[in-house]
Amino acid sequence: MAWRASQFLAIIFTALAFAPGAAHLMELPAKIDMPEQPYFIVQQIYRGWAWAGVAIFAALLANFGSAMLAPRQSRQFWLSMAAGILIAATLAIFFIWTYPANQATANWTSVPEGWERLRTQWEYSHAVNAVVAFVALLCSVGSALSSSAARPVVTRADAPDASRGTARHA
């Protein structure tokens, strides 16, 4: 039961972690070539998006927790581990490429020299993160779906015959 709950939470939090990246990916074509002033104005819509980090850390914990509760070396274990590792990779991508662009622009309130390079770095790091988070979501869902296939299904024909103490076979 705890494993099922952890899988459910892993899927929910991984989907929530994917959502902001998906939004960035979908808006990239419209934003990537914007001139300076409109781009910096549009960037202000992300104030408060740091709270999305809560979902990322929750997804990280939920996927690793699901892996720890899964049978060792099972498909569920490896898919949950992969999801957790991929979520960790999104954090690495963020802190290596996205966060430095945020810092160099004071969260897009200051226009430094070479801002276009920072825009490209920021936009494409979010696009890559969206793809990585989506694959993490697929792994998390795959873990949950493969768990039902791992258990044998007992039918009435296979159930022990109470009168003889053996299974009936046709």
Of the listed ranges 112-116, 118-122, 123-127, 150-154, the one predicted with least confidence = 150-154
Confidence of residue 164 (pLDDT cuts 50, 70, 90): low
Judge whether 13 and 55 are in contact, CB under 8 Å.
yes
Query: What whole-number percentage of the chain has pLDDT above 70?
Result: 86
pTM of this structure? 0.84
Q: E-assigned strands of the chain?
A: 160-161, 166-167
**Which residues touch 57 (CB under 8 Å, ≥6 apart)?**
none
**C-beta of residue 87 within 8 angstroms of C-beta of residue 56:** yes
Domain boundary assignment for the chain:
2-150
Confidence at residue 152, expressed as pLDDT on a 0 to 100 scale: 43
d(CA 22, CA 28): 10
Mean pLDDT taken over the chain: 90
Residue 1: the pLDDT is 75
pLDDT above 60 for 150: no
Residue 167 — φ and ψ, nearest 5°? -80, 145
